[in-house]
């Protein structure tokens, strides 16, 4: 499954997320399982501190699977502490070097705020504007095939209309049945911005429980399809054209998460939509000016 971005770039709908996966051996093991299972999009970020290990692993794994760099879609993101024109340029080049590639398929501003600045400081507006100008310039030079933002709210996107030469190709945000953002989804569809979700499976709370994976509605639908709750949550998104980035250290789950060749009916999708409790499991970007 793939989508064509507004500029014609083809992007897999299902990617492999690498948040909190660190260390050469762990990255190598996970990426080997991911490539074997059919993943071709690998999502990283400067603050994940794993770009170098990803680059080294791919150098070893691509020949093993008879793949070329052009078969992959590599994403990275700007650290909030590197907001600003020149720091952003330097960060893009650093990511290219660490990941051992001459271009990135997608690069995102990770957060609308700036590291070390209070969320209500107007400097945040200036800094993310400068960062976007830097990404536009990198895009024009072919260093990045598509550019976008992560954790931007409607207000941040609307603000971009005052300065962006190229509007974002991708928006990556938290999205799952406990936190559905219909207005943002509609906005992206209207502006031809691909909407990509993170935290599609929720997260563990209170030490050992994942409220979303253990939801009775999710489990019932999973049982009816003979699928895992994770597969139901991922299919709920992809069936609506929303990109997903599941991550796992378990090769069985890695393969399972990309095996989404089944359909939910309209009633099932609506039942999952009604689970919305406005419950965020990640950070809240709406507090950033």
Which token pair is 62? 């691509």
Please choose, from the candidates 57, 151, 82, the residue with its C-alpha nearest in 3D space to the C-alpha of residue 92. Answer: 82
The answer to whether 14 and 26 have CB atoms below 8 angstroms apart is no
Active site amino acids? 48
Annotated binding residues for substrate, written as ranges, equal: 110
Q: Residues annotated as binding site?
A: 110
3-class DSSP string for the chain: CEEECCCCCEEECEEEECCCCCCHHHHHHHHHHHHHHCCCEEECCHHHCCHHHHHHHHHHHHHHCCCCHHHCEEEEEECHHHCCHHHHHHHHHHHHHHCCCCCECEEEECCCCCCCCCCCCCHHHHHHHHHHHHHHHHHHCCCECCEEEECCCHHHHHHHCCCCCCCCCEEEEECECCECCHHHHHHHHHCCCEEEEECCCCCCECCCECCCCCCHHHHHHHHHHCCCHHHHHHHHHHCCCCEECCCCCCHHHHHHHHCCCCCCCHHHHHHHHCCCCCCCCCCCHHHCC
Instruction: Tell me the angle at which helices 229-238 and 266-273 cross, rounded to the nearest 10 degrees.
Output: 100
Contact 282, 199 (CB under 8 A): yes
């Amino acid at each position: 499954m793939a989508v064509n971005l507004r500029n014609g770039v083809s992007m897999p709908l299902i990617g492999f997320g690498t948040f909190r996966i660190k260390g050469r051996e762990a990255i190598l093991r996970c990426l080997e399982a991911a490539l074997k299972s059919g993943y071709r999009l690998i999502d990283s970020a400067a603050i994940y501190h794993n770009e170098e290990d990803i680059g080294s692993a791919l150098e070893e794994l691509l020949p093993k699977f008879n793949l070329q760099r052009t078969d992959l879609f590599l994403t990275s993101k700007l650290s909030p502490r590197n907001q600003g024109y020149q720091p952003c340029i330097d960060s893009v080049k650093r990511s290219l070097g660490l990941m051992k590639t001459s271009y990135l398929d997608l690069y995102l501003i990770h957060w609308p705020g700036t590291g070390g600045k209070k969320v209500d400081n107007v400097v945040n507006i200036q800094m993310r504007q400068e960062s976007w100008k830097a990404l536009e310039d990198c895009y024009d030079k072919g260093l990045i095939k598509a550019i976008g933002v992560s954790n931007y709210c409607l207000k941040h996107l609307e603000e971009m209309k005052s300065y962006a030469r190229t509007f974002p190709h991708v928006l990556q945000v938290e999205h799952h049945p406990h936190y559905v953002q219909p207005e943002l989804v509609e906005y992206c569809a209207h502006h031809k911005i691909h909407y990509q979700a993170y935290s599609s499976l929720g997260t563990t709370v209170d030490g050992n429980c994942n409220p979303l994976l253990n939801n009775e509605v999710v489990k019932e639908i999973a049982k009816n399809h003979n699928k895992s709750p994770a597969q139901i949550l991922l299919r709920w998104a992809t069936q609506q054209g929303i990109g997903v980035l599941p991550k796992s250290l378990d090769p069985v789950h890695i393969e399972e998460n990309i095996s989404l060749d089944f359909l939910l009916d309209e009633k099932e999708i609506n039942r999952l939509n009604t689970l919305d409790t406005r419950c965020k499991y990640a950070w809240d970007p709406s507090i950033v000016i």
